[in-house]
Amino acid sequence: MKKQYLYGLVNPFERVAGLDSLLWGLAGMVVSTVLCYFSAWHYHGLLHFGPAPNPAWWCYAVEHLVVWLVPVALFYLGGLLLSRSHIRLIDVLGTVAFAQLPLIIMNLFEFLPPMQNLAKMDMHQSPVEMMQQPGFLVGIWLSLVAFVFLIWTLVWMFQALKVSCNLKGYRLGILYCVGVFGGDVICRYLIRLCY
């Protein structure tokens, strides 16, 4: 039982897929968008987060949609090319959305005062001046803890691709790298248009 529970934390997509994962994922995106709006924390890309110059609510919504739909498009198109199985778009949409649920916990960290101080810090200061700011080291440690939830999301995205596109081996690895790292570059370019 304990082993199954741990496996579910690593790969929930053996039990949750299709419409169920899409609905959970969309609900999670709404929560994540609201949290980002109130903490002023932006998604600059799939792997990049921080402050940004546009505080409009629609900007946060667009960021979340881009961070969801770009990897979906890359995974789906890659799955059609590389997989011998029938790929359903709803499975890719749902599993990628669900895979981003751990980002909600990461977003909660941004409400903590040391993290808010980091976001407001002048990045043109020298490292010595930054380290003298109150709460700087605590903010760095909190960032590292929050980073665990980004890693968790990336693990789930790997499992989402594996299950929704029925891939394994080098094809899975190549498409995952293209979807995540290439997706991050595309997301950053598209999101930059909002600023």
Q: Which tokens hold the place of 4?
A: 């199954």
Please determine, for residue 3, whether its predicted confidence score (pLDDT) is greater than 80. no
Q: What is the mean pLDDT of the chain?
A: 89
* Averaged pLDDT, 147-168: 94
The pTM (predicted TM-score) of the whole model is: 0.87
Question: Of 110, 100, 87, nearest to 18 (Cα)?
Answer: 87
pLDDT tens per residue, range 69-100: 999 999 999 999 999 899 999 999 999 999 99
DSSP H helical ranges for 41-168: 57-82, 89-99, 103-109, 113-120, 127-131, 136-164
Question: What is the pLDDT confidence band of residue 131, given thresholds at 50, 70 and 90?
Answer: confident
Which of the 8 DSSP states describes residue 17?
-
The span from the CA of 70 to the CA of 190, in Å, is 10
